[in-house]
Structures are given as C-alpha cells and as structure tokens.
Amino acid sequence: MTVAEYNLCVKEFADRLYHFILKNIRDDEVAKDIIQDTYEKFWIRHDQVTFSKSRSYLFTAAYHTMIDYMRKKMNLTLVDEPAEIESGFNSAEPDLKESLNWALSKIPQIQRSVILLRDYEGYSYEEIGEITNLSESQVKVYIYRGRLALRKLIGNPEVLI
Amino acid sequence: MFINRNNYESIIIDYLDGKLNASQKVAVELFLDANPDIAEEIYSVTGFTLQEEYSSGFSRESLLKSFDDIDEISTKNFEEFCIAYYEKDLSKQSEELLFNYVKSHPENNILFELYGKIKFDRDNKVQFSNKGKLLKPVISPVRRILYYTIPVAAAILLFILFRTGSKQNFNSKGVTEKLISEMNILESVTNSDEGILSEDKKGPHKMNLSHDFGANNEVIAVFDTNNSTTYEKVLLASIKPINANIGTNTGEADSEYGKLYSRLTNISVTAGKNEEAIKKEEAKEDREKVLFWEAIELSLKGIGALTENNLALYTETDDRGKLKGIKLQTEKFEFERRIKRNINN
C-alpha cells in the first residue's frame, strides 16, 4: 500500500472506526487513543496490507486493541455473560433511538460489538467472525441474543412505536 | 444396540478402517463419549483422534438445522423468526410462514415491526478529530521539483543580491533592506513546508562539496548525498551565467552526473552557458530526507566555491525544528536576521 492509499484509509475509515470504538467503550479519550494505536500498527504494516483489505485490517486491529484495553484497564469479563434485563428505559418521553442507545450500553460487550459491526458496517457473519475471532455460528448466535436482549430492555413496544 | 462393551473391539477396528456408514459412525462416537476409559485406550494405542475422524468422513454439518426445518411458528420462536427476517436469514418459504403467523396473530404485528427498528445507523456527525495527526506526508514528483528548485533559486537570489551589494557597499542601508525584503519572501515560502523536502527513516543525509568540470569545461560544484532515485534538472535561465542543476542521480547512461557520480544524489551549481529550459527528466519516489535550509546552504556554498567568495549560510532552529534565525556570511560580509514567530505558529 502506498502512502497515498494509507492516507486515504485515514480519511475514509478513521471516523467510522472511532464511532465503532466509542459506542463500545463510551470513553472519548480512550477511543481516540485506540484509534491512534490502531493506525500506528497499521502504518508499521502498511506495506504488507493491500488497500482492498485495509478496512477489514483496521477494524480487526481496532477491535483487538479495544479488547486488550478493556482487559487491562477495566478488568471486564468478555464472555457472553447474560445481561441483567430489567425492562424499562427511564425517560419521561421514551424515544426509540434514545432507548436503543441506552439498551446497547447494557448488553454484553461481545453482543454489542457484533451488532455494531453488522449495522454500522454491514459486515457479513463471516467477516465479523474474522474480525472478532469467532466462528460464523457464534457471531450469528451473539447477534440474535443481542437483538433479543435489546428488545427486552427497551420494554413495551407499544409505548415506543 | 449396535455397539456395547462386549463387542466394541471388532466394531472399532471397522470404524478405524472407515468401513462403517454414517449412522454406525455416530453410534461409535457416542459410545466412545459414554465410555471414556475405552476411548482413552483406543486413542493411546492407535494415536487416532476423534477430530481427525470427523474431518475424514462424518460431518457434523449434517446435524445442523435451518429455519426451513421448522414447520410451525409459536410464541416461543416468533421473536427468533423476526430477527432472522430482518437479518435476511430466512428463505422465501420461512418468510411466508412468518407472514402468515403475523396475519393470523395481529397482536404480534407491533413486535414484528419493532424488530425492524432495532438497528443502529452510523452517525456521520461523529468524527475523529485527530485525523490530521494520522496522515503521512506525500510529496508528489512535481512538488518535489519545486522543493529542490526553491532553495537553489533562493540561494542564487541571495548571491545575486550579495554581488550587487559588493559592487556598491555591503553596509549600505539600501542593500540591507533589499536583502531583508527578499528574506521575507524566503520565509513565506519556507513556512508552508516546514523546511522538509522529503523524508526517510534514516534521517537527513550529509552532503559533501566537491568540484568537477562539465562537458563544456564549465566548473561544477557537486554536493553529494546518497540513496538517489530521481534525477531532476533545473535551469534558472534568467540568472545567467549561473545555472543550478539539482538532482538525485540514478547512474543512468544518459545522465551526465550519473556517469560521474553513480548512485549519488547531487545538488550542483554550474557556471557556464546552458540554453535549456526547466526540465524534468525523471521522477520516482525519493526517500531521502533533506532539509530545506540545508539545501539552500549547500547551494550557496556551491556558488561561493565557484566564485571564491566562501559564501556560507547559517540557520538557527527552535526545539520544534522551526527556523529562528538566518545568517549569511563571507569573509567580507555578514548578514544576520532573526525571525519573530507567534508562539502558536
């Protein structure tokens, strides 16, 4: 990959990576650090990565940098622990988008990550599996469980629609 | 029962030989799972592993089920079907099944629609503010020519001013003011590019001054660097008879400097006639790092050497490498100027 292509990857994907990490980790400074680290790693390997694989490489690197960070700093359990589902978003005027964002923060990290990769980036189960080191079936299960959990968290659909 | 603790030995042999059908293989595997002592005995004797056997014949894939295998939707699996529908995992047949269920159970329509809205859209307003820090400098061939051209042009300009001054009076106010005025031009040029011509992991290269004679017996002052990949030739025809040839030398046969200084990069200043216009002969990626003011200094030294004036340019930089001061010096003349910068520049 040329320097120009590397720079194109910064312009094209830095915002998207940042958004993905920020949604996962919910800490602006940490998210910025993770993106910075990701691109440093990417730059070191830029002559070994083709432009066509760059997006996937960046998301994989950012995801694993985030997981490393969470393990070290936040001491989080990253297995598919069940969310404590207590239906009911506390808002006087519940709004679906607000409720969803709130619910997203409540589900397990792995479910959150795979759903965001699916919705934000439109990745297939297989591609998400490559990024997160999961099998295609596991990805599918996490997405299903995640969406079910989100639905239960946001509560009564009649109030929201 | 197909296999038990009394008959397993012969069946296991058939199993290892691949003589069993799929259902018999499953029966053997279940038997081994249920009798770990026998499984351990078999594995230790044969070195066989269940995993290897799976890959050679029986496939777990055959046990997998899809939504097409479900004939009926109920309250228990309705939400799973909803998710599968919006994930586009359902076949036409399963979609029909779901639609019929929703039609016959209209109270579930809201839930069905809700799943369609459990999606997250990327917010384009969320932007990574430090993008600029991630970008790496790219120097295009055309721009690189300018980078090489400007310092030598600047050096020659200084020299012309110097010479003009020498005919009059170096210390005269008029000459000094003119020089300051030209320095301002230089400063405005250099500010935009931080003085970096190109970069390399190895850092800036030292250049050595030497002299030679060209094809027309003109004097050539050659400043060598190394790791050359380009050759560019610039003629400043308006300032005759001094011409500047700036290039990185590939050692190619058609390159005059290539023949003489193969594999060396040079910035050369010649005194002689040259009718060519500005000409770019070749441009490839150039990876060496040369500081802008370093090139000016070297060019000026070249002119000084040719004219036996011992011209020298000294620059002073701050911690960030930005230019703070500039001093032009010969044995007879010295001009010094310090640059005022805003702290935020």
Pick the residue of B78, B108, B122, B196 with the most A CBs within 10 A to test the interface with A by mutation: B122
CB contact under 8 A, B110 and A16: no
Give B255-265 pLDDT, tens digit per residue: 343 333 322 24
Which residue from B287, B152, B276, B268 is spatially nearest to B219, judged by alpha carbons? B268
Q: Which residue has the higher pLDDT, B323 or B195?
A: B323
Cα distance from A151 to chain B (closest Cα, Å)? 7
Whether residue B30 contacts residue B5, with contact meaning beta carbons closer than 8 Å, is answered with: no
Whether chain B has a CB inside 8 Å of the CB on A64: the answer is no
B117 vs A23, A96, A120: nearest CB: A96
Mean pLDDT for the stretch of residues A148-156: 84
Q: Highest-confidence range of A40-49, B20-29, B46-55, B76-85, by mean pLDDT? A: B76-85
Q: Please report which confidence band the pLDDT of residue B230 belongs to, taking 50, 70 and 90 as the band edges.
A: very low
Task: Give the count of beta carbons closer than 10 Å to the beta carbon of residue B250.
Answer: 21
- Of A68-77, A101-110, A146-155, B191-200, which gets the smallest average pLDDT? B191-200
Pick the residue of A3, A26, A136 with the most B CBs within 10 A to test the interface with B by mutation: A3
Q: Which amino acid is at B299?
A: S
A4 SS3 class: helix
Mean pLDDT for the stretch of residues A122-134: 90
Contacts of A140 in chain B (CB under 8 A): 89
B260 SS3 class: helix
What pLDDT does B132 receive?
Answer: 81
Residue-averaged pLDDT of chain B: 58
Q: Is the pLDDT of residue B171 over 50?
A: no
Omega of the bond leading into B241 within 30 degrees of 0 (cis): yes
What pLDDT does B141 receive?
Answer: 54
CB contact under 8 A, B120 and A17: no
Whether chain B has a CB inside 8 Å of the CB on A8: the answer is no
Domain ranges in chain B are 8-63, 67-117, 141-338
CB contact under 8 A, B120 and A6: no
- Of A72-76, B188-192, B233-237, B241-245, which gets the smallest average pLDDT? B233-237
Tell me the CB-side half-sphere exposure of residue B162, using CA atoms within 13 A: 25
Q: Is the pLDDT of residue B243 over 50?
A: no
Give the dihedral of Cα atoms A106, A110, A112, A114; nearest 10 deg: -160
Mean pLDDT for the stretch of residues A45-51: 83
Which residue from A149, A14, A16 is spatially nearest to B122, judged by alpha carbons? A16
Burial of B95 (0-12, 13-18, 19+ CB in 10 A): middle
What pLDDT does B6 receive?
Answer: 79
DSSP A72: I
The side-by-side arrangement of strands in the sheet containing B323-329 is B312-317, B323-329, B334-338
**Which two structure tokens, joined as six digits, stand for A10?**
């910064």
Q: Is the pLDDT of residue A89 over 90?
A: no
B21: left (phi over 0), alpha (psi -120 to 50) or beta: beta
Residue range A1-76, CATH number: 1.10.1740
**Which two structure tokens, joined as six digits, stand for B147?**
């980078």
Q: Which residue has the higher pLDDT, B36 or B118?
A: B118
Domain ranges in chain A are 1-76, 82-161
Whether chain B has a CB inside 8 Å of the CB on A3: the answer is yes
CATH architecture of A82-161: Orthogonal Bundle (1.10)
At B246, give phi and psi (nearest 5°).
Answer: -120, 125
Q: Is the pLDDT of residue B290 over 50?
A: no
Cα distance from B293 to chain A (closest Cα, Å)? 25
Q: Please report which confidence band the pLDDT of residue A46 belongs to, taking 50, 70 and 90 as the band edges.
A: confident
Pick the residue of A112, A114, A161 with the most B CBs within 10 A to test the interface with B by mutation: A161
What pLDDT does B8 receive?
Answer: 81
- Chain centroid to Cα A148, Å, comes to 17
Contacts of A18 in chain B (CB under 8 A): 126-128
Rounded Cα–Cα distance for residues B151 and B297 (Å) = 8
- Give Cβ neighbours of residue B345 (< 8 Å, ≥ 6 apart): B191, B322
Minimal-distance CA residue of chain B relative to A14: B128
Q: Which residue has the tokens 């005995």?
A: B41
- Of A54-58, B186-190, B328-332, which gets the smallest average pLDDT? B186-190
Which residue from A115, A155, A84, A158 is spatially nearest to B83, judged by alpha carbons? A115
What pLDDT does B309 receive?
Answer: 57
Q: Which residue has the higher pLDDT, B154 or B182?
A: B154
Give A22-42 pLDDT, tens digit per residue: 999 888 888 998 998 899 888
Report CA-CA distances (Å) from B167 to A65, A91, B153, B160. 67, 85, 21, 11
Which residue from B198, B204, B202, B254 is spatially nearest to B231, judged by alpha carbons? B254
CB contact under 8 A, B114 and A150: no
Q: Which residue has the higher pLDDT, A158 or A14?
A: A14
Whether residue B183 contacts residue B326, with contact meaning beta carbons closer than 8 Å, is answered with: yes
Q: Please report which confidence band the pLDDT of residue B232 belongs to, taking 50, 70 and 90 as the band edges.
A: very low
CB contact under 8 A, B127 and A35: no
Which residue from B222, B226, B224 is spatially nearest to B200, judged by alpha carbons? B226
Which residue from B164, B197, B158 is spatially nearest to B314, judged by alpha carbons? B158
Q: Is the pLDDT of residue A115 over 90?
A: yes
Q: Which residue has the higher pLDDT, B221 or B339?
A: B339
Task: For chain A, give percent helix, strand, coil, nearest 5.
Answer: 75, 0, 25
Q: Which amino acid is at A29?
A: E
Q: Is the pLDDT of residue A94 over 90?
A: no
What pLDDT does B319 receive?
Answer: 74
